[in-house]
Every structure is written in C-alpha cells, then in structure tokens.
Amino acid sequence: MRFLQKFKIFESTQELPEFGTKWINDKGEKIFILKSDQYDKTIGYYTLSDPEYKRYIKPETFYAEYKPLDKHIYRDDIEFEFDKATYLSDERAIIAPYFITKQNEKSIEILNIKEFAADTATFGDNARPYSVTFHKGTLPTSQIEILGEVPEKEGFFYVKVPYWLYKENTELNIKRVVGDFHHMKRLDLRDYSLSNKELMSNFKDPNVVKYFASSNKDERTQQQVRNYARS
C-alpha cells in the first residue's frame, strides 16, 4: 500500500488500512482504525477526540479524506528486525516485534519471552542452546501504533512504542538469541530452570506454545515445549 501524488490517493489495489494505524484529515481530525471489513468494504474507526463512539466509513471516502498519521506507512528508511528492537531517533520511539495475546479498543496485551544464550557448547547440528524467562505487559492503544504483522511469524506484530515507555517497562525489552549456523537455536533448560515451578508453569499457557511454534521452527524445541505443556 503506497500513496501517490503527495499521499492523496492510493494505488488501485485499494488495500484496506490495518488495525491500530492512525490517520489524519486536512482539518486535523485524527482517527484510529479498529476494523477493516473486506466483505462489505467498510472501515471501522473512532476519532481520538471521541474514542467512545465507533464510526464507519467507505474506503473510497476514507482514502479521499485521510492520510496516514503514522510515519511508517510512507517512510522507506526502516528495516524491521525480529531479533531486536529498532530505535527511531527522529521520533524518540522504538519499533519492536511483540506477540499479541489480546487486544481491544483501549489496549493490547503482549507476551515477550526473553532468550539467553547458554554457557555451553552448541549441539551436534550447530543449533545454539538457550534458556528463557517469561514476561507479559499491557500497552494502551493511545500510546502505541501497530505497524503490521511480522512476516512468517504468526501472532507477532511490529509495534511502535515511545522510547520512554520502552525504557521504563523492562518486560518490553527484546532479548532474542540468533543461532550460530543458519540461524538455528534450541531451547535447552537445565536443572535450575526445570526445578522452578513458577517458570515451568508458563508452558501450560496456550499462547506460550503458539509463541514458540511461531518464533522457533526447530523441531526438537517444539517437542520440548509440547512435553513441558503436558507435564
């Protein structure tokens, strides 16, 4: 989706705007996208000045009146990365990939599993061992922007967060291990983790199972996660 003629019209593909994006018209009215329905071609939204009242608009009217308030829609200098957060110095903001477990008009809930490279040798197939800690957080939609889905990572979305909010909430900090060989990595919990009942109880959360299924395609990791979920 890209703008032509100084962002006044879209290409003929007429892709509908994504949930979580903010837009603005020539009068300065800002809106927040709640839902885009491909079937009946309507866009649900609320104005930031009156968030309690949900409104609907047809795409042709929407595109004629509004342009994106989010810089990410039209700037081409950002390369998103799944294994770390990206700092935008001009906006004092962070773009980070989060697994969204729940969302509504006022907030989103995220699951963030931090990964720590183990002080052991790699596996025989060069997969890099790592341990984990589990973190959850709630982010107000008024403070963040959901930029879009992470390709090939179901459930993960790139989210733009104010830098101050990212720094003040350690559960938001991204810490992921990149494998040494073809980006392979493998969950490797040792006795001190396996004996931690509070940590291991997280594996019974269906969202944790989905998180691992999406973020790490290593078959042995997938099997371990399923075993921990059943234990």
Angle at 206 between CA 212 and CA 185, to 5 degrees: 10
Q: How confident is the model at residue 10 (pLDDT cuts 50, 70, 90)?
A: very low
Report pLDDT for 22. Answer: 82
Q: What is the pLDDT of residues 185-194, one digit of tens each?
A: 999 998 888 9
- Specify the pLDDT at position 207: 97
Confidence check: pLDDT of 203 > 50: yes
Instruction: Measure the CA–CA gap between 60 and 156, rounded to whole angstroms.
Output: 30
pLDDT band at 96 (very low <50, low <70, confident <90, very high): very high
pLDDT at 71 over 90: no
Q: Confidence band (pLDDT; 50, 70, 90) for 181?
A: low
Q: Over the stretch 11-37, which tens digit does the pLDDT of each residue have? A: 434 567 877 778 888 888 888 888 776
Select, from the ranges 83-92, 113-122, 214-223, the one with the highest average predicted confidence (pLDDT): 214-223
Is pTM beyond 0.85 here?
no
Instruction: Give pLDDT, residue 75.
Output: 52
Choose between 127 and 2: higher pLDDT.
127
Query: What gap in Å lies between CA 78 and CA 63, rounded to an integer?
Result: 24
Token code pair at residue 87: 């700092």
Q: What is the pLDDT of residue 5?
A: 36
Q: What is the pLDDT of residue 77?
A: 54
Q: Which has the higher per-residue pLDDT, 75 or 19? A: 19
Higher-pLDDT residue of 2 and 147 is 147
